[in-house]
Structure 1
Amino acid sequence: MSDDRRRENSDRKPRREYGDRDRDRRGGSSQSQGRGHSAGPKRGWDDNRRDERKIRHDRSTPQRQGFREDRMAQKADEPDIPSDVDINDLDPMVIQDLKVLSKDNAERVAQHMIMSATLIEDDPDLALRHARAAKNRAGRVGVAREMNGIAAYHAGEWKEALAELRAARRMMGGPGLLSVMADCERGLGRPEKAIELFRSPEARELDPASRIELGIVVAGARRDLGQDEAAVATLQKLQPTMESNDISQMRLAYAYADALLAVNRVDEAKGWFTHVAKIDVEELTDAAQRVEELG
């Protein structure tokens, strides 16, 4: 992976600052797959649907030919786990979810999940390998699918991330990581889909911090479409304030400053960047640099 791509991926982090990525107005690439036409006789729609269901069933069940060999090959290809990885470092609720597995398998899945979470910032590709190993061992456990989705997101594998997060939502219920899913749609060059998620019934179930995260992504989607004024309006509806040091409000203030700058409201943008620079003690953003650039 190139340095530019790695920098791009490092900006796309769930529950973290999204402002830097929105400056770059990234889109990503989308790939479509079409079905070929059968050379044989045409059959009814129901027949085709039954055949598709049978194929999916055959590929996912131990009875199909080669299933055992595939599973052994997947396990042989798993990344190594250091001997000092302690599964008790995992959230107790996650450990509880893994109890549907055999003890040895649950422990191995937990170790892969810990490794994925540990490596996700510095080595997203290896983190994804660990997450995939956990998913392959625990494909029917929602938290394993969610971990795979988050790791794929960090590695810039938007399509895989979206599929895994959707699967996790089906298994676990609730609104899920809508902001990450929306950002994946942007990565796939589908900003309209990101905006649709913001309007979905699930979005109304989000807590305030999660709704801010989703709103920031959607503002970026508006800018992807060249709708800079609409991006400002989207963020205004989230009520950015200079009266709070809350990290979600800090990220919102940064995104709002960036959106204001895009519509040439320079003085207002500088004021918001200055506010963020004052409260960003951990330097999660480049607000101080942005203030310097504006003079």
Structure 2
Amino acid sequence: MAERPDRPPRDDRAPRSGGSQRDGAPRRDGAPKRDGAPKRDGAPRRDGAPKRDGAPKRDGAPKRDGAPKRDGAPRRDGAPKRDGGAKREGTGYRGPRPDGAGRPERPNRPEGDNDRPRHDDPVIPETVTGAELDRIARNELKTLAKENADRVAQHLVMAGTLIDEDPALAHRHAQAAARRAGRIALTRETLAITAYATGDFALALRELRTYRRISGSNEQLPLMVDCERGLGRPEKALELGRSVDRRTLSVPTRVELAIAMSGARLDLGQTEAALTELEIPQLDPSTAFSYSPALFDAYAIVLDELGRTDDAETWARRADVAAEALASAGADDGDETIEIIELDDEDGNAGGDSGR
């Protein structure tokens, strides 16, 4: 029996054989400090400018000597001296260099430290080359340098391989891919899916929004709806699901969205409405598509919630038969073409298949 829609259903699809920082972006903590800015003492004086000698003195202004001193704050009786400023712990600033140059010295790094990776990326087995990634996914990485694209592909392959058996490690690989290729839609999508698999619905939702913005695709809308459910916001889940015209979605995505919306209705105790969400044209017991087992099973669960036990058992059996028929026909082998398996209306046994 598949997962009940009254909890966020698990997205069993691993990333497409493959999930943000800009690795090449300059780090702001390494920017030159302004302590060594040239002094203005040598600037030419404006001899023709009116002198301020006759201006009234501000001796009568209240003095701040009695105010509590703020350690490290600039003194009001003059601009803070750049060269003599106090050392700021943690910045690596060692004061002015002997040669008078204003650029502060950088702290010495331990010998061999230059070879350390910036991040603790998970290990990739030597047998994984990245060529295992499908052609469409590889095409998305062509904007990257070849060496970087190969490493990103390796991390994506590892994420897709591990997501079922070790979601946490798959998520680490997805994070490594996103660090190297944060502007690639595929890496953000994979990071979102692995975050969802680990139960981090907030991160998953944020990454899915980024994926949608980069790709312009709404095909991950069902997973976004489930993330809202996982965050305890079924009303927002329903609102999100209604925000897109379902006719613009692929048929499998429409079915997944119907299941997610049904689950949100159950979260709110709207059982009849949950059943209605599932009564879509794809709820056809005479044929089986790749999405049919999940749809039939979700329908059975809601029927059982309504107390219609006999009907629930019938649809649960249809879900099992559809899954077996699809497996025997090889329809669940990752092919984009949907296989149709004819089912016997009386006993639910599979008949022949007629591919579309």
What's the counterpart of residue 224 of structure 1?
A: 267
Distance 1:21 1:86, change over 3 A: farther
**Which runs of structure 1 show a deviation greater than 3 angstroms over 4 or more consecutive aligned residues?**
72-76
What's the counterpart of residue 205 of structure 1?
A: 248
5+ residue gaps in structure 1?
Answer: 1-16, 28-56, 285-295
User: How far 1:73 sits from its partner (Å)?
Assistant: 7.8
Q: Tell me, what secondary structure is at the counterpart of 1:189? A: coil
* Residues 150-189 of structure 1 aligned to structure 2 (within 5 Å): 150-189=193-232
Distance in 1 separating the partners of 2:205 and 2:267? 19
Distance in 2 separating the partners of 1:81 and 1:256? 41
What's the counterpart of residue 335 of structure 2?
A: none
Paired residue type of 1:203: R
Q: Is the 8 A contact 2:292 2:322 kept in 1?
A: no
Select which of 232, 236, 240 maps to 1:193: 236
Q: Tell me, what secondary structure is at the counterpart of 2:165? A: coil
Select which of 179, 182, 188 maps to 1:145: 188
Q: Is the 8 A contact 1:212 1:248 kept in 2?
A: yes
Deviations 1:183-218 (A, max 9, x none): 111111111122122212253311111100111011
Q: Tell me, what secondary structure is at the counterpart of 1:125? A: helix
Which structure has the larger Rg? 2
Paired residue type of 1:136: R
Select which of 58, 64, 68 maps to 2:28: 64
Q: Tell me, what secondary structure is at the counterpart of 1:99? A: coil
What's the counterpart of residue 40 of structure 1?
A: none
Distance in 1 separating the partners of 2:117 and 2:201? 22
Deviates more, 1:210-219 or 1:273-282: 273-282
Size of the aligned set, in residue pairs, is 233
Distance in 2 separating the partners of 1:190 and 1:118? 31
Deviations 1:39-71 (A, max 9, x none): xxxxxxxxxxxxxxxxxx9xx94251159x9xx
Q: Is the 8 A contact 1:159 1:184 kept in 2?
A: yes
TM-score (norm 1): 0.72
Paired residue type of 1:192: E
Q: Is the 8 A contact 2:219 2:253 kept in 1?
A: no
Task: Give the structure with the larger helix fraction.
Answer: 1
* Residues 1-295 of structure 1 aligned to structure 2 (within 5 Å): 19-22=2-5, 25-26=6-7, 61-65=25-29, 75-281=118-324
TM-score (norm 2): 0.60
Paired residue type of 1:83: E
Q: Is the 8 A contact 2:155 2:173 kept in 1?
A: yes
User: How far 1:153 sits from its partner (Å)?
Assistant: 1.0
Q: Is the 8 A contact 1:212 1:238 kept in 2?
A: no
Q: Is the 8 A contact 1:222 1:230 kept in 2?
A: yes
Give the percent of matched residue pairs that are identical in Structure 1 and Structure 2: 43
